Structure 1
Amino acid sequence: MAHPVQTEAEVVESAPAGAYRRLVLRAPEAARRVRPGHFATLAVGGGTSSMLLRRAFSIHRADVEAGTIELVVAEHGPGTRELVRSRVGDRLSLIAPLGTPFPLPEGPVSALLVAGGYGSAPLFPLAEEIKRRGGQVGFILGAATEARLFGVEAARALTQDVLVVTEDGSAGLTGLVTEPLAQAIKAIDATVVHACGPMPMLRAVTGIAEELGTRCWTAVEESMACGVGICMTCVLPVVGEDGVSRFVRSCTDGPVFDGAKVRWADLGTVPADLEGAAAMGVRG
C-alpha cells in the first residue's frame, strides 16, 4: 500500500526520450516511498486552470539519494502538452507514490517483462530489484514504431535477453509483443511475467501466460480522474481471493493486478454475477 505525499516538486531536468519527454522532479519525501509499479499524478495549468483533473503517470525511477522522481510523459492533449513544455525550475503539484506496486519475489525467479510503448517505464527498477534478489530477467519491448519504443538500451544493459517488436517493422521483429511471447517464456524458463501497456495487450499476454502455467502480473492502463480512490471512474471487474467478482479501483487496488483475476472480457460492462449488480438493476 502506498503512503503518498503531496508536494510542489521542482523540475530539475526535462529531456526528450524518443517520442516522449522525461521529467525529473525533486521530491525527496515521495522518492523515499516509491516501489516499482507505483504511479504519480501531476496538476496542470495552475490554480486557475480549467483543467481540473490531474494526469497520472507510472513512476520510471526514484533516486533516494538525489531526492528525485522520474516520469515519462507522452503528449496526448492540452494537459500533457503543457507538461512536456515544463522547464527546469518550474514547480509542479505532485502526489506520489500512488497505487499498489508489483509484488517482489522473496528469492530468485526468472521473470519476463513485457511492455508496449512507454508502458515499459516502471519495469526497469523492477528488473533491477529482481536481479538484486538473485533472479534473472528478459524483456519484450514493443511499439507501433521505433520512435515510440522506450528503454531498449536500458533493457540491454540489464540482460542479453531482449526482444524488440514494432508493428511497422522499423525496429526488431515485425508484429505485436504477443507473437514471440510464448517462445520467450520458454526460452528463459520464466516463472512469472510482468506486463504494462494497453489493455488489449495485457489481456492477450495474460491469456498466453495462463496457457503455459506462468503467473502474470499486469499494470493496467485505466483512465483515472482522481487517482486516490474517491471518484470510482477507474473501476474494473476482478475476481477476489474468495472467488467473488467485484468492481475494484485501478488507482488504489491496482494498478498492478494478477492478470488471471481480471475479467478482461467484461471490461466496460457490469457483469450480471458481479457483487452488487442486482442493486444496479442488472439481470442475467
Structure 2
Amino acid sequence: MTANATSAGPVQETGEIFAVQRVGEYVQFTVIAPGVATGFQPGHFVAVAVGGENTSMILRRAFALCGATQSDKFAGTVQFVVAAHGPGTRWLVERKAGDTLDLVGPLGKPFPLPAGPAPAVLVGGGYGAAPLVPLAHALLEQGSPVEFVLGASTGSRLYGEMTAKRLVGRVTVTTDDGSAGEKGLVTDVLPEVVERVNAEIIYACGPMPMLQAVAEIAQKRAIRAQVAVEESMACGIGVCMTCVLPVRGADGTSRFVRSCVEGPVFDALNVRWSDVGRLPSDLVGADAMGGH
C-alpha cells in the first residue's frame, strides 16, 4: 500500500449550501467550501456545526465526504450524506439551498491506495457507501479493477447503487428484508465476489459488526482490508477521546487510538474487534485507567 499525496490541513469554513438532494431515506448536501475541497482525499470527513448560532448543541456532527470539486472548477464544493437520527441531524436535514453551514475539514486519514493496479472489492453498508464512491474513482484512475457490494436493512436505505453501476458496471446488492437485490447480508455474498474478481484488497465502510465480519473474511483469504469505522466523533480533532478503538500498532503493542485522527480508516486486521467498547488489560496504559 502507498500513502496518498499529502493534503492541506483542515480549515474552518462557512459554506453556502449549493444543493440539497433526497436519496432514499438520506439527504445529500453539496456545500460551497473551497478550502475543504482543496485538501480532500477519499476517506476524509467533515465536522459540521448544528443547531444554529444560539443552540445548546455544542458538539459538531461528523460526516464522510462522498465527493469534492476543486476550486479551479466552479466554486469548490464538497458533498456529504446525512441520516436523521437525533436532534442535530434532524436540524441539519431541514436546511435548504442558500443556507450556510459551519464546516471543519478535511479531517482524518484517507484510504491508502495500492502501489499499483490491484483488483479491489468495495463494501458499503447503508450510507456508509458514501466515501467509497470517490475511492472507486481513484482506484479506477490507477488501473485497478473494481466491484461494489452494497447492503442495507431495506431498499430505501441503500446508497450509491446507480452511481456505482455507472462507474464499474457490476454491483452486488443485498438487503436484510429482500426488498432490493439478494436477501441477506453483504458478507453472505462477499466471498463469492472476492473469488470472482480475484481481489487483492477489500475496502469497507459501514456498521461495526459488518466491518468485523469483512475483516474475518479478508483474514481467511489472506488479503488486505482497509475499513472506515463509524465511531461517534464528538470533536473530530482528537481532543475528547470519545471515539477510541483498541488497535495493534506496528510494534505489536495494542493501544487506544482516536478514530478521528489516527482513523477513520484502519487496517482491518489490526483492529481488536472483540474488544471494541471494552478496556483490555494488555493495552498500553490500561493499568492507569483501571479505576476509572
**Same structural fold, with TM-score higher than 0.5 when normalized by the shorter chain:** yes
The Cα offsets for residues 85-139 of structure 1, whole Å up to 9 and x where unpaired, read as 1111111100010000000123111000001000000001101110100111001
Name the CA distance, whole Å, in 2 between partners of 1:281 and 1:260. 26
The partner residue of 1:42 within 37, 48, 52 is 48
Aligned residue identity for 1:37: G
Point out where structure 2 has 5 or more consecutive residues left out of the alignment: 1-5
SS of residue matched to 1:270: coil
Name the CA distance, whole Å, in 1 between partners of 2:180 and 2:23. 16
- Does structure 2 conserve the Cα–Cα contact (< 8 Å) formed by 1:138 and 1:162? yes
Aligned residue identity for 1:99: G
- Does structure 2 conserve the Cα–Cα contact (< 8 Å) formed by 1:99 and 1:254? yes
- Does structure 2 conserve the Cα–Cα contact (< 8 Å) formed by 1:106 and 1:133? no
Identity within the alignment, %:
53
CA RMSD of aligned residues (A): 1.0
The partner residue of 2:129 within 120, 133, 148 is 120
The partner residue of 2:212 within 185, 203, 208 is 203
Name the CA distance, whole Å, in 2 between partners of 1:171 and 1:203. 24
SS of residue matched to 1:268: coil
1:181 corresponding residue in structure 2: 190
Name the CA distance, whole Å, in 2 between partners of 1:49 and 1:262. 36
Q: CA deviation at 1:30?
A: 1.0
The partner residue of 1:73 within 58, 65, 82 is 82
SS of residue matched to 2:269: helix
- Does structure 2 conserve the Cα–Cα contact (< 8 Å) formed by 1:22 and 1:71? yes
1:20 corresponding residue in structure 2: 26
1:10 corresponding residue in structure 2: 16
SS of residue matched to 2:101: strand
1:216 corresponding residue in structure 2: 225
What are the equivalent positions in structure 2 for 1:96-135 lying under 5 Å apart?
96-135=105-144
1:30 corresponding residue in structure 2: 36
Q: What TM-score comes out, normalization by structure 2 length?
A: 0.95
SS of residue matched to 2:255: strand
Name the CA distance, whole Å, in 2 between partners of 1:281 and 1:251. 24
What are the equivalent positions in structure 2 for 1:233-272 lying under 5 Å apart?
233-272=242-281
2:64 corresponding residue in structure 1: 58
Name the CA distance, whole Å, in 2 between partners of 1:262 and 1:231. 20
Aligned residue identity for 2:23: A
SS of residue matched to 2:237: coil
Name the CA distance, whole Å, in 2 between partners of 1:261 and 1:161. 30
Point out where structure 1 has 5 or more consecutive residues left out of the alignment: none
Q: CA deviation at 1:161?
A: 2.6
Q: CA deviation at 1:205?
A: 0.5
Q: What TM-score comes out, normalization by structure 1 length?
A: 0.97
2:152 corresponding residue in structure 1: 143
Name the CA distance, whole Å, in 2 between partners of 1:160 and 1:24. 25
Aligned residue identity for 2:249: G
Q: CA deviation at 1:160?
A: 2.5
Name the CA distance, whole Å, in 2 between partners of 1:131 and 1:159. 9
- Does structure 2 conserve the Cα–Cα contact (< 8 Å) formed by 1:225 and 1:233? yes
Q: CA deviation at 1:238?
A: 0.1
Name the CA distance, whole Å, in 1 between partners of 2:102 and 2:201. 36
1:162 corresponding residue in structure 2: 171
Q: CA deviation at 1:144?
A: 0.5
Name the CA distance, whole Å, in 2 between partners of 1:12 and 1:159. 28
Aligned residue identity for 2:12: Q
